[in-house]
Structure 1
Amino acid sequence: MSTNVLMTVPTGPGVGLTSVSVGLVRALEQQGLKASFFKPIAQPHPDDTGPDRSTAMVAQGSTLRPADPIPLHEAERYLYNDAIDELMEEVVGRFQASIEPDSTVIVEGLAQIPGHPYATRLNKAIARTLDAGIVLVTAPNKMRVTELEHHVEIAAGSYGGIKADDVIGCILNKTQPGSLGMKSYGDTFAQRPIFKRNFSLLGQIPVSEELTYPRVKDVADFMNATIINAGEMEQRRIQSYTLCARGVENMLEALRPGVLVFTPGDRTDVIMATAIAALNDTKIAALVLTGGYQPSEALMTLCGKAMAKGLPILSVESNSWDTAIKMQAFNQEIPLDDKERILTVKEHIARCIDHDWINTFALNDEERKLSPPAFRYRLIEQARALNKRIVLPEGEEIRTIQAASICAERGIARPTLLGNPEEIQRIAQNNGIDLNYGVEIIDPDSIRDKYVAPMVEIRKHRGLTDIVAREQLEDNVVLGTMMLEQHDVDGLVSGAMHTTANTIRPALQLIKTSPDSSLVSSVFFMCLPDQVLVYGDCAINPDPSAEQLAEIAIESAMSAKAFGVTPRVAMISYSTGGSGSGNDVDKVREATRIAQERRPDLLIDGPLQYDAAIMEKVASQKAPDSKVAGKATVFIFPDLNTGNTTYKAVQRSAEVVSIGPMLQGIRKPVNDLSRGALVDDIVYTIAITAIQAGQLDN
């Protein structure tokens, strides 16, 4: 067994050691490297009652299941009995139970917190016992560069000094953009001459306020509030607080997206003003009624529509002032059930780690299994490098607006929203979405005439007239498709409000299939816990012929390869090999033969049953000579019924994230969204579309 062991240790209190440690694990996963995590000794907070915080955060969104750390009271018993050697034996035992062979192990040291004066002593012993390289974690805390250098150098002295072979470098956490030469949030890592004594800077993690926003649910639990209307208290996050005891006309400015409003429960005017703001699509985080006053049933009836829009309303017994004072003691630690916030923190930190350094931990040259974090990271980085312009015809749809903001902020693409600019800005403002990062907004009325003549020319063989073309261009999807056809944008993403047919039909009519394709098909990228698989075709062709199925297999293999998935194509059927007969299995057998003849360089095999394609034990019995069985990464289904049913069954039963459908075979990139798409789904689809556009440049 070969492993790299890195141990994160703090240079002082409050540096964010746990967040950096779990972020390092995610950075390894993003690069497709095998990672393990180990927390030797637990350090629970006074109010912690559940599992160890670090190990629970690592497990969230990952296949890793680290061993439990040694309880703190047990470790202290060893120390009190001067039995540190025995403690280290226990550490080694748990370490061996926690790690995967041939992995890079992140070991989280003890934080320096009050009441734990032995933290550095134990960290030194653990690092020596596990032969771990030391990664110091620090936070500038308003220090000047020279002060920071001295601070880190003193901390490194406990481990042999900055020149020691096993002291690798330092990660700066909680930096302010612009300070110490830091780049702004969203930029990739770049080495900075912060340390002048040949000491490596391994990462620089800027502060992001968004990472600190708690859910309304968390504050309700903290205040032991009575829930009058739950609304979206599980989803809405609190960005700020306001105490409204003054006249309504003097507090309207405070009614902003993400604000938690405290007001006495008998202030009917404030309650009504908050409800009206909610009706106008301003996403107030929540309304908290203080003093134990309960609103009347008549008032609640008047506020019914606001509550139906998701406005949470809470009630507490304490008065407004005491409630606001109590909030100062609110614990900002991330609750372990807040999956969204945990994953956001991990992704934020992972982006800010030096990826060249991370890649030095590749232990061998074997093919890396593309994990979901590695796949998503690859998507974003590839798209960022291309800087493509992607049109979003559903520009007034809130999820689309939010996705456009994220893509522009992170440089994933140059998003173009089609819609009424005033309406788009109103929706963005009411939902706390910042469109100042470079989102382009185009009023369709201002450009529609430009595309009438080109559209008539394309469809003249169908007898299209100016009047009909102008009518069809009233549909923003058609307008966006013409923008793509005329090279004004690089790709199109639609479907959050439209059917698949609404998105694909204009593309087929105006853009057509690519020269080497006879049909349009689709693939889904299925993000299983430890691997990304490709499913096709699960969205377009109801009953493809053998020729068409072969083409779908080849297109899907090339799509997989383009996005980092090594293609091993399984042609799925209810029968494996020659064990079955009938029209359906004969079609798959013929499609396999055609695909193999056309592309002998690709690994394609079939017919294969699903279990034989994905499970090595089953494959060894049913298809022992197959190079695909048990190792398939691309699954081609015989018809739409089978494909769509399978992808949805896997997605729902295993809680698998699916990205797609990604359309293939169209001359220019057009992609469809599910009408239930989440914001992240739209972001990744935009990234996929940008990458497809980049492939056309080659």
Structure 2
Amino acid sequence: MTRSVYVTGIDRGDGRQVVELGVMELLTRQVDRVGVFRPLVHDGPDRLFDLLRARYRLSQDPATVYGMDYHEASALQAEKGTDELVSQLVERFLRVAREYEVVLVLGTDYSGTQLPDELALNARLANEFGASVIPVVGGKGRTAESVRAETRNAYRAYEALGCNVLAMVVNRVAAEERASIAERLAARVPVPCYALPDDPALAAPTVAQITHALGGTVLLGDDAGLARDALDFVFGGAMLPNFLNALTPGCMVVTPGDRADLVVGALAAHSAGTPPIAGILLTLNERPSEGILTLACRLAPGTPVISVAGNSFPTAAELFGLEGKLNASTPRKAETALGLFERHVDTGDLLARIALARSSRVTPMMFEHDLLEQARADRRRVVLPEGTEERVLRAADVLLRRDVCDLTLLGDTEVIRRKAADLGIDLSSTQLIDPVNSELRQGFAELYARLRAHKGVSVELAYDVVADVNYFGTLMVQEGLADGMVSGAVHSTAATIRPAFEIIKTRPDTSIVSSVFFMCLADKVLVYGDCAVNPDPNAEQLADIAVQSAVTAARFGVEPRIAMLSYSTGTSGSGADVDKVREATKLVRESRPDLRIEGPIQYDAAVAPSVAATKLPDSEVAGRATVLIFPDLNTGNNTYKAVQRSAGAVAVGPVMQGLRKPVNDLSRGALVSDIVNTVAITAIQSQGEELPA
């Protein structure tokens, strides 16, 4: 039977979109077919559904998402009664429920709906849908005691109406009172109660939203600048020195368009990172001269300068009434919202209460969810040597907002701060180190000289070597100042991993460093090794790669069934290449009899049950292989790329294995999501000893 979760509230302004997004994230971790249903909808775009559809790649027809609009519902209820209204909504819900493993139901919003007793209607719909309920109570601007009382009353109301209440969420409470509110509620309400603090970044409008709301004209600025959150408003009227002292991080400067001195001063401060601003809003429909605009563009490329027609007073009145909204055009707000939800909600317990059986299929999104969850469970520090690269900074933004791990960025710190400011990224919680000027440089040089003394490396030479960001980052890992390193977005594979070979070296139980890719297909995850490091491993090395890959697979939730690939299956072929694979298979069986392995075997016999039934009918691996070991780099690299491009698979990696401490390489074409996944994998690799396969 389809399970469904009904997120509802008791009044306006509870910010429940954060909870709805968080619950969707949980559901998509467990199953790959999640439907959405909103019983009642207002005219106009549904920003939250647009966000869910974009973020979770939902294929659901938008026409099936909605029951009916509020006007239709109100008229139907007045004419034929609540029973008829509920009956029609149930019928429309069931059309969705039949198509999906689980449905997320988005309750009514209490916004001028003209529906009597909206809470009772939500409760009845939840019961008729067979849905469990998560009520959300708004806490913004309210005392702790009133929030606690409101939450208890809301629970009693839904429970009295027959609802299965999974948990209560109190949202937007004062940060300093969050813990005490949660503690008091835990003692008074018989279901889990989660308290989420108010986050200014979520309520802050973006520069793009401000521009749209005020009918402004963009004079300068790019998409990244328009996506910045306006965390504060600073109105310019004072002389420049006093004005600069009033600037706050992330503020929107509002000033008459003829104050060129304040425009240039604010942008100069932004360029220096003292402090980074969201943008500038020019009033009175006055525009600076072309010369000033040219200077502004050079001072802070990408920073928005917006012109509006009104004067400062009515503009201020409109600005203070604006509030940020979660939608498809604000992906960074979504990351912030999910980080907030995951920090303050016991997601494991909530999933258990939903009692949703995990799908037997594992989609790329489910695999990526699991990576972030595993990394977050035991927080680690990862060093990113390419701290001035835009993709790395954007990935850092996601990782920080989602609270996945601690980060250290290497590079010229002023350049990093300036680029982060231009991208609207807050690095206040991130460690920034310039290897050239770091106090660690001399000690690292002495350590590297000792490690490479047999190669004639002096301290003087080492002092120059360790200024390289990859050597410096590797030495941080070696010395325990970071738990792992990820590089390669702008460096070659050799530049990334050579320092690891020289400094960290291989584990004592392995003879070779190798790599795997996690190949995320539509319904499963396969592990391919080695597709990135070893050109032509011999039988002993191939056996070592197979064992390492099985251990890596098990650590990341893939049950290892190893296929040692060749152009021949079983005993049907001969020759040096087949014999190498046959010998490697034998060595694995001798050293790790607990592992399930088959080889030599062709790719189709390894993954296709119908082919396996003909070629190796008695094999427990054939047709079900999850770890595929290629005989050489040429075969492996071409195969992973062919599957990636032809089958639309998501290739996560390469993930290095066999090193004493984790260092991972990126493709120079890596996307932001690739970097996020690789950092999460690196953090997980550093979490204690590797698990047995």
In which range does the TM-score fall when normalised by the shorter chain?
0.7 to 0.9
Distance 1:529 1:58, change over 3 A: farther
Once structures 1 and 2 are overlaid, which stretch shifts more, 200-209 or 371-380?
Answer: 371-380
8 Å CA contact retained: 1:18, 1:108: no
Q: Distance in 1 between matches of 2:285 and 2:490?
A: 43
* Matched residue, 2:174: 176
Task: Describe the SS at the equivalent of 2:516.
Answer: strand
Q: By how many angstroms is 1:519 displaced?
A: 2.4
8 Å CA contact retained: 1:248, 1:270: yes
Residue 207 in structure 1 maps to residue 204 in structure 2: no
Amino acid at match of 2:10: T
Q: By how many angstroms is 1:82 displaced?
A: 1.6
Task: Describe the SS at the equivalent of 1:75.
Answer: helix
Q: Percent identity?
A: 39
Q: In the TM superposition, what are the counterparts of 1:654-669 in structure 2 within 5 Å? A: 659-669=652-662
* Matched residue, 2:257: 265
8 Å CA contact retained: 2:531, 2:640: yes
Amino acid at match of 2:235: L
Distance 1:41 1:411, change over 3 A: closer
Q: Distance in 1 between matches of 2:200 and 2:395?
A: 19
Q: By how many angstroms is 1:20 displaced?
A: 1.7
Q: Distance in 1 between matches of 2:152 and 2:580?
A: 69
Pick aligned residue for 1:458 from 451, 461, 470? 451
Q: By how many angstroms is 1:520 displaced?
A: 1.9
Q: Distance in 1 between matches of 2:649 and 2:276?
A: 29
8 Å CA contact retained: 2:37, 2:96: no
Q: In the TM superposition, what are the counterparts of 1:552-567 in structure 2 within 5 Å? A: 552-567=545-560
8 Å CA contact retained: 1:175, 1:204: yes
* Matched residue, 2:125: 126
Q: In the TM superposition, what are the counterparts of 1:268-667 in structure 2 within 5 Å? A: 268-280=260-272, 283-306=276-299, 309-330=301-322, 332-354=324-346, 355-362=348-355, 369-370=361-362, 375-376=367-368, 378-384=370-376, 386=378, 388=380, 390-393=382-385, 413=405, 415=407, 437=429, 439=431, 445-486=438-479, 489-525=482-518, 532-544=525-537, 548-569=541-562, 599=592, 601-604=594-597, 633-636=626-629, 640=633, 659-667=652-660
Q: By how many angstroms is 1:559 displaced?
A: 1.0
Gaps of 5+ in 1: 184-190
Deviations 1:446-477 (A, max 9, x none): 33443455434433333333433333233343
Deviations 1:328-354 (A, max 9, x none): 444532233434433542453244333
Task: Describe the SS at the equivalent of 1:666.
Answer: coil
Q: By how many angstroms is 1:414 displaced?
A: 5.5
Q: By how many angstroms is 1:18 displaced?
A: 3.7
Q: By how many angstroms is 1:538 displaced?
A: 3.9
How many residues matched? 682
Distance 1:587 1:176, change over 3 A: farther
* Matched residue, 1:6: 5
State the TM-score, normalizing by the size of structure 2. 0.81
* Matched residue, 1:95: 93
Q: By how many angstroms is 1:506 displaced?
A: 1.6
Gaps of 5+ in 2: none
Amino acid at match of 2:211: A
Q: Distance in 2 between matches of 1:612 and 1:534?
A: 16
Deviations 1:156-199 (A, max 9, x none): 4544539x67344422111222315359xxxxxxx733154442
8 Å CA contact retained: 2:484, 2:683: yes
* Matched residue, 2:219: 228
Q: Distance in 2 between matches of 1:129 and 1:38?
A: 16
Distance 1:350 1:106, change over 3 A: farther
Q: Distance in 1 between matches of 2:550 and 2:619?
A: 17
Residue 70 in structure 1 maps to residue 67 in structure 2: yes
Q: Distance in 2 between matches of 1:453 and 1:347?
A: 41
Q: By how many angstroms is 1:508 displaced?
A: 0.9
8 Å CA contact retained: 2:32, 2:363: no
Q: In the TM superposition, what are the counterparts of 1:96-115 in structure 2 within 5 Å? A: 96-99=94-97, 103-115=101-113
Q: By how many angstroms is 1:501 displaced?
A: 1.6
Q: Distance in 1 between matches of 2:286 and 2:575?
A: 73
Deviations 1:522-541 (A, max 9, x none): 23445667655544434333
Amino acid at match of 1:566: E
Once structures 1 and 2 are overlaid, which stretch shifts more, 638-647 or 610-619?
Answer: 610-619
8 Å CA contact retained: 1:241, 1:260: yes
Q: Distance in 2 between matches of 1:77 and 1:108?
A: 21
Amino acid at match of 1:88: V
Pick aligned residue for 1:60 from 49, 54, 64? 54
Q: How large is the RMSD of aligned CA atoms in angstroms?
A: 4.5
Q: Distance in 2 between matches of 1:182 and 1:401?
A: 35
* Matched residue, 2:233: 241
* Matched residue, 1:689: 682
* Matched residue, 1:135: 134
Q: By how many angstroms is 1:23 displaced?
A: 1.7
Distance 1:101 1:604, change over 3 A: farther
Q: Distance in 2 between matches of 1:220 and 1:674?
A: 37
Q: Distance in 2 between matches of 1:245 and 1:616?
A: 75
Pick aligned residue for 2:77 from 63, 79, 84? 79
Q: Distance in 1 between matches of 2:125 and 2:573?
A: 59
Amino acid at match of 2:123: K
Distance 1:38 1:398, change over 3 A: closer
8 Å CA contact retained: 1:575, 1:585: yes
Q: Distance in 2 between matches of 1:210 and 1:576?
A: 58
8 Å CA contact retained: 1:63, 1:529: no
Task: Describe the SS at the equivalent of 1:325.
Answer: helix
Amino acid at match of 2:243: M
8 Å CA contact retained: 1:27, 1:353: no
Distance 1:676 1:585, change over 3 A: same
8 Å CA contact retained: 2:179, 2:195: no
Once structures 1 and 2 are overlaid, which stretch shifts more, 521-530 or 10-19?
Answer: 521-530
8 Å CA contact retained: 2:384, 2:407: yes
8 Å CA contact retained: 2:251, 2:278: yes
Q: By how many angstroms is 1:680 displaced?
A: 6.4
Task: Describe the SS at the equivalent of 1:8.
Answer: strand
8 Å CA contact retained: 2:40, 2:66: yes
* Matched residue, 1:42: 40
Once structures 1 and 2 are overlaid, which stretch shifts more, 595-604 or 111-120?
Answer: 595-604
Q: By how many angstroms is 1:505 displaced?
A: 0.8
Q: Distance in 1 between matches of 2:107 and 2:272?
A: 49
8 Å CA contact retained: 1:256, 1:430: no
Q: By how many angstroms is 1:563 displaced?
A: 1.9
Task: Describe the SS at the equivalent of 2:252.
Answer: strand
Distance 1:255 1:531, change over 3 A: farther
Once structures 1 and 2 are overlaid, which stretch shifts more, 328-337 or 623-632?
Answer: 623-632
Distance 1:263 1:677, change over 3 A: farther
Distance 1:449 1:229, change over 3 A: closer
Distance 1:406 1:176, change over 3 A: farther
Q: Distance in 2 between matches of 1:336 and 1:315?
A: 25
8 Å CA contact retained: 1:292, 1:318: yes
Q: Distance in 2 between matches of 1:64 and 1:620?
A: 36
Once structures 1 and 2 are overlaid, which stretch shifts more, 106-115 or 417-426?
Answer: 417-426
Once structures 1 and 2 are overlaid, which stretch shifts more, 368-377 or 668-677?
Answer: 368-377
Q: Distance in 1 between matches of 2:373 and 2:452?
A: 38
Q: Distance in 2 between matches of 1:251 and 1:617?
A: 74
Task: Describe the SS at the equivalent of 2:184.
Answer: coil
Q: Distance in 2 between matches of 1:611 and 1:220?
A: 56
Q: By how many angstroms is 1:110 displaced?
A: 1.8
Q: Distance in 2 between matches of 1:313 and 1:653?
A: 44
Task: Describe the SS at the equivalent of 1:41.
Answer: strand
